[in-house]
Structure 1
Amino acid sequence: MKLVKMSLAAAVLLGASAFAIDNVKVSGDAKLFYGTNDIGDNDLFSKGNDTAALTTGAGSYADTALRLGVTGDLTKGISFGVTGYAVSTLGLENNLVSQTWTGAHGVTAGTGSSFGNAAAGGAQVDDASWIGEAWIAATLGKTTVKLGRMELDTPFAFTEKWSIVPNTFEAAVVINQDIPDTTVVGAWVGKGNSGSHDLLSGTAFVGMDGGVVGTGGKFNTFVKDGAYAAAIVNNSFKPLTFQAWYYNVADVADAYWLQADINCQLVKGLTIGAQYADLSPKGWAEDVVGITEDSSAYAFKLGYTGVENLSVSAAFSQVDDQGGFKIQNVATPNGQSKLYTEAWWNYGYVGAPDAKTWTLTAEYAIKDMVKLGAYYTNVTDAQTFSDDTSALTLAKKYDMQEVALTATKSFGPLDATLAYISTDADDQNNGSQYDTIQAYLTLNF
């Protein structure tokens, strides 16, 4: 599900429980994702035009993925983990769809396939495999150090899991919990394996996820010269969880994230949240790209879980109108935002300069049957940037409305989700509303 959630455990990059490993454990999953839309002249469930798919996302898209992970203890207090990923379209792009889900595939030209003919010269979509995680961790007392390839979950740099395969990082993380009710985090992020900002980069093909994972899962330098992060997460006052993050994104920006979430003691089931984020340009971003103003945003959220099996929430966010950065994941090209108001499917709007967003969410679980979700997002005045990188200027403003309805059910080890999305955005489909239907199948083992 393309829904961002932040808990205390997730916010500290990795939970302490990740290291409570007994001997060797093998786990994984196999996924089949499918989606279709009626952008342009396409009908739902039609293959769609290959060339249009590459430039507008029109038509249908599908992918399969396999994940296999192994964790274990090397000795007392020292553990390891290795996770491999493989993706394949199973040749569906030649018959049923005109687009892939992930950008991890490569493209081989001149094979006789019609896929992407105009852009790639008669190409086929290649299978790909890579090692997404390969880490070792040591715990001494209440301090844990983790090194290698891993998933991360921080406000400005995190692993996006909504797509069929997630992005990961090469990093070093230190977590200490010696202070009561407090977690202190320090991290160095050197590389990541997300895709480029280009729709086509050489023979690389970027899927519907916009390049969450780059071709072949290859790891490259994170942003420009890597980044440092530090955080404090405190729960001394039990109803309240407060977190403060600082990032030094080398030669690009200093970033700050403050967040407080409280369980209301007066109304059972009521939660209140507040967020503030700031990105301050420096170095290359300021001198070469021309970003001179800070980018900041604030957000508020009310949630209620006082009715059994029902959760509802409402949120609002506002981004300032002068900054040159989006308030979003800096690890991926068109990344998610950790702001409370992030959309279910259409990313890149909520964190844009001057964007004003409000959302309504409702989830209801029918016992032993199905979990239903309804998500509404309304974004106004989201600004884009001009193509002239020699003098960064804000360009046109866009509005976006999204309605997403989901139904999720598990059949033993098989998780299934069906989603309907209505999108009405000024910069999509010539400003006309269009429909999307998606199916997610995950077999866990």
Structure 2
Amino acid sequence: MAGLWLGAICVFAFVSPVQSEEGVFGNLRVGFIHAEDDAGDETDGSAIGGKLGYISPSWKGLSAGATFYTTGELFDDENGDFFSSENGSYSILGEAYVQGELGNTQLRIGRFELDTPHADTDDIRMVPNTFQGLLLSNSDIAGTTLYLTHLDKWAGVDADIPESFEEMNGDDGVTVVGAVYEGIEQLTVQGWYYQGSDFAKLFYLDGMYEADAFSVGIQFGSQSDDTDDDSGPDGDVWGITGSYSLADFTITAAYNDVSGSVTNGFGGGPYFTSADDHTIDGVEDQEATALGVEYGGVAALAVGVLHVDFDQGANETDYYAVYDVNEQLGLELIYTDMHEDGDFIRLMANYGF
């Protein structure tokens, strides 16, 4: 697709490569949203924005990059999903980093986009999450990439104050180590450990096998509270997912079971049963089952429905259509029915370059 996204509707999360080719890149986005809450109150929001970035040529293994993000009101700002903490337009220098490469080792320092299971861009509105810190990666081991990162600030769609970089986890930040293995064809395995003093310790492991007509994946997470007042997540979660394609249809199913409570972390979270809005985050002993079907029989168009049944709280049903006009321009329409929690409809257009 042309740089489009589909909310939190996903079954597998792993570190995705950051922009690495030198030169100018970016996108232009337009978004509309209409929402109705459980009390019947309606709000609207519309915005235009996107990003513009530049990566310098490499000189003796050194390079630098910067990306400017912006979102501005078009007609309505009653619904704040696209806007700042005060429902206003804003702009931010979301990426500004220097990078060094030596052999198979890469070090990036500054502000940057990052996608890991519990710290990710969650690129579902106008401005994604970006992080400040350092990121060290190494791929000396065949088929394996090792990661070490320390993050101390973040901004973007999931932050309390999207329009400015604020501290993650107080003064302590979060230190992360991870490994992604892709040495066997069609199989990806990853493991991650997050140390957040006075917050929580998070361990995450998953694996996905993908063939032409089907895929199957498993995940496990263990989280332990590290606060003085027992306010952090504390529990285990496991999950299984699978998909099967028949003719022009793809059927997906997933299941998550939580013992205790778990968090998404800093972003949208990695759980197999995540819907566009609701996840298993923050609910004691939650259990969720997801079932979806997608039709792709029309060129450049995908339409589908995903229903997630939560053992506790409101269920969610997402109806969506994604159309690639060409390699640069994509359109997304999604209707999210959160049942007793309300509903919303969202239209997004993205032009990437």
User: Considering only CA atoms, is the larger Rg found in Structure 1 or Structure 2?
Assistant: 1
- In structure 2, the partner of 1:114 is none
TM-score (norm 2): 0.89
Matches within 5 A, 1:384-395: none
1:241-271 superposed Cα distances (whole Å, 9 cap, x missing partner) = 221111111232211001111246xxx5222
Whichever residue aligns with residue 271 of structure 2, its letter is L
- In structure 1, the partner of 2:257 is 318
Rounded Cα–Cα distance in structure 2 between residues aligned with 1:36 and 1:310: 29
- In structure 2, the partner of 1:360 is 291
Rounded Cα–Cα distance in structure 1 between residues aligned with 2:19 and 2:232: 41
- In structure 2, the partner of 1:281 is 225
Q: Give 1:213 deviation, angstroms.
A: 4.4
Do the aligned residues in 2 keep the contact of 1:132 with 1:217 (CA within 8 Å)? Answer: no
Q: Percent identity?
A: 23
- In structure 1, the partner of 2:3 is none
- In structure 2, the partner of 1:221 is 167
Matches within 5 A, 1:330-341: 330-331=265-266, 335-341=267-273
Q: Give 1:216 deviation, angstroms.
A: 6.2
C-alpha spacing 1:38/1:102, structure 2 compared with 1 (3 Å): closer
Q: Give 1:126 deviation, angstroms.
A: 3.6
TM-score (norm 1): 0.71
Normalized per residue, the structure richer in strand is: 2
2:187 paired with 1:256:
no
The secondary structure found in structure 1 opposite 2:339 is strand
C-alpha spacing 1:40/1:319, structure 2 compared with 1 (3 Å): closer
Rounded Cα–Cα distance in structure 1 between residues aligned with 2:298 and 2:154: 40
Residue number among 230, 242, 249 corresponding to 1:290 in the alignment: 230
Matches within 5 A, 1:40-119: 58-93=42-77, 98-104=78-84, 106=86
C-alpha spacing 1:239/1:414, structure 2 compared with 1 (3 Å): closer
Rounded Cα–Cα distance in structure 2 between residues aligned with 1:293 and 1:155: 16
Whichever residue aligns with residue 257 of structure 1, its letter is Y
Do the aligned residues in 2 keep the contact of 1:355 with 1:379 (CA within 8 Å)? Answer: yes
Do the aligned residues in 2 keep the contact of 1:32 with 1:440 (CA within 8 Å)? Answer: yes
Q: Give 1:293 deviation, angstroms.
A: 7.7
Q: Give 1:351 deviation, angstroms.
A: 5.5
C-alpha spacing 1:301/1:350, structure 2 compared with 1 (3 Å): farther
2:274 paired with 1:327:
no
Rounded Cα–Cα distance in structure 2 between residues aligned with 1:132 and 1:6: 27
Do the aligned residues in 2 keep the contact of 1:33 with 1:438 (CA within 8 Å)? Answer: yes
C-alpha spacing 1:4/1:175, structure 2 compared with 1 (3 Å): farther
C-alpha spacing 1:216/1:242, structure 2 compared with 1 (3 Å): closer
Rounded Cα–Cα distance in structure 2 between residues aligned with 1:156 and 1:163: 18
2:350 paired with 1:442:
yes
Q: Give 1:339 deviation, angstroms.
A: 0.7
Q: Give 1:61 deviation, angstroms.
A: 2.3
- In structure 2, the partner of 1:120 is none
Do the aligned residues in 2 keep the contact of 1:34 with 1:62 (CA within 8 Å)? Answer: yes
Rounded Cα–Cα distance in structure 1 between residues aligned with 2:282 and 2:274: 8
Rounded Cα–Cα distance in structure 1 between residues aligned with 2:39 and 2:152: 44
The secondary structure found in structure 2 opposite 1:338 is coil
2:29 paired with 1:31:
yes
Rounded Cα–Cα distance in structure 2 between residues aligned with 1:444 and 1:302: 31
1:407-444 superposed Cα distances (whole Å, 9 cap, x missing partner) = 1213334321222222213xx3xxxxx44322112233
- What residue ranges of structure 2 are gaps of 5+ in the alignment? 1-5
Residue number among 117, 141, 146 corresponding to 1:179 in the alignment: 141
The secondary structure found in structure 2 opposite 1:301 is strand
C-alpha spacing 1:415/1:281, structure 2 compared with 1 (3 Å): same
The secondary structure found in structure 2 opposite 1:185 is strand
2:119 paired with 1:148:
no
Rounded Cα–Cα distance in structure 2 between residues aligned with 1:233 and 1:281: 26
Rounded Cα–Cα distance in structure 2 between residues aligned with 1:5 and 1:71: 29
2:181 paired with 1:234:
yes
- What residue ranges of structure 1 are gaps of 5+ in the alignment? 43-51, 53-57, 107-124, 195-210, 382-397, 429-433
Rounded Cα–Cα distance in structure 1 between residues aligned with 2:247 and 2:102: 41
Matches within 5 A, 1:297-308: 297-305=237-245, 307=246
Whichever residue aligns with residue 248 of structure 1, its letter is Q
Highest relative contact order (Cα 8 Å, sep 6+), 1 or 2?
A: 2
Q: Give 1:376 deviation, angstroms.
A: 1.0
Whichever residue aligns with residue 99 of structure 1, its letter is N
Rounded Cα–Cα distance in structure 2 between residues aligned with 1:319 and 1:41: 29
Q: Give 1:291 deviation, angstroms.
A: 4.1
Rounded Cα–Cα distance in structure 1 between residues aligned with 2:334 and 2:221: 31
Q: Give 1:308 deviation, angstroms.
A: 5.1
Rounded Cα–Cα distance in structure 2 between residues aligned with 1:271 and 1:33: 32
C-alpha spacing 1:435/1:11, structure 2 compared with 1 (3 Å): closer
Rounded Cα–Cα distance in structure 2 between residues aligned with 1:378 and 1:438: 22
1:204-244 superposed Cα distances (whole Å, 9 cap, x missing partner) = xxxxxxx5245462111111210111112223443432211
Whichever residue aligns with residue 292 of structure 2, its letter is T
Do the aligned residues in 1 keep the contact of 2:233 with 2:282 (CA within 8 Å)? Answer: no
The secondary structure found in structure 1 opposite 2:114 is coil
Rounded Cα–Cα distance in structure 1 between residues aligned with 2:81 and 2:292: 26
Residue number among 335, 343, 347 corresponding to 1:420 in the alignment: 335
Do the aligned residues in 1 keep the contact of 2:288 with 2:309 (CA within 8 Å)? Answer: yes
Q: Give 1:143 deviation, angstroms.
A: 1.0
Do the aligned residues in 1 keep the contact of 2:46 with 2:75 (CA within 8 Å)? Answer: no
1:129-176 superposed Cα distances (whole Å, 9 cap, x missing partner) = 110011121111111111110111111111110121111100211111
Rounded Cα–Cα distance in structure 1 between residues aligned with 2:346 and 2:233: 39
